[in-house]
Amino acid sequence: MAELSLVHRVPTREKAVAFTFDDGPHPVYTQQLLDIFRKANGKATFFMIGQEIDAFGDIAAEVHAVGHEIANHTYCHPDLTKLTLEEARAELQQADARIRQVTGKPVLTFRPPYFGVNEDILSLAVELGYTSIGTVNGEAKDWEQPGVEFILDHTRPTIQNGSIFMFHDGYGERIQTMEAVRVLVDELATEGYRFVTVSELLGLADQT
């Protein structure tokens, strides 16, 4: 049975990490990320909002076409714990349907907006076939635009095999995030890390 908790890191001996980006797609910042990861020969996971896919479906299609993972971040970004269970189900299913229209594939992973989860929401995610994803670098708070150095200083200590990092490419100005991600990708590539999707990282979990 799937564990009823958020996955923040995958236990693995592989030198691999997953970069994840919430709240897109965005016509400027998502494109910048595609360029960063193309140059690094790596893949990332984009936790997209259904409404943003409606607005920028061509960007979502490009993300999928070049091999990145698109994951569920609900249809309109509510705190799921403040909805009825049926409302929460509708949020996930509507976003899921929109993502499948883009990818033609099942959606495997989910991140709750604001990390708003309880046992009911986690159980719902399992029922719908998702692994619920957290992050190791929540203290970086890139969504608050705290400065590039702040983002870096609160992400670097969380780096280890199997780390899942969270940043944002949608809803507002993300210039600081783009610069911080460029720096981190360069540093980690130099250290020999591979950049994989969340689903790929989950598949690297040590079975011992």
In order, the DSSP letters of 54-94 are HH-HHHHHHHHHTT-EEEE--SS---GGGS-HHHHHHHHHH
User: Which residue in 43, 102, 37 sits closest to 72, CA to CA?
Assistant: 102
Q: What's phi and psi for 161, nearest 5 deg?
A: -55, 130
Strand-pair partners of 109: 131
CA 154 to chain centre: 18
The H or E element containing residue 114 is none
Question: Which residues are marked as active site?
Answer: 22, 168
CB contact set of 105 (below 8 Å; sequence gap of 6+): none
Answer whether 131's CB lies under 8 Å from 154's CB. Answer: no
CB contact set of 172 (below 8 Å; sequence gap of 6+): 143, 145
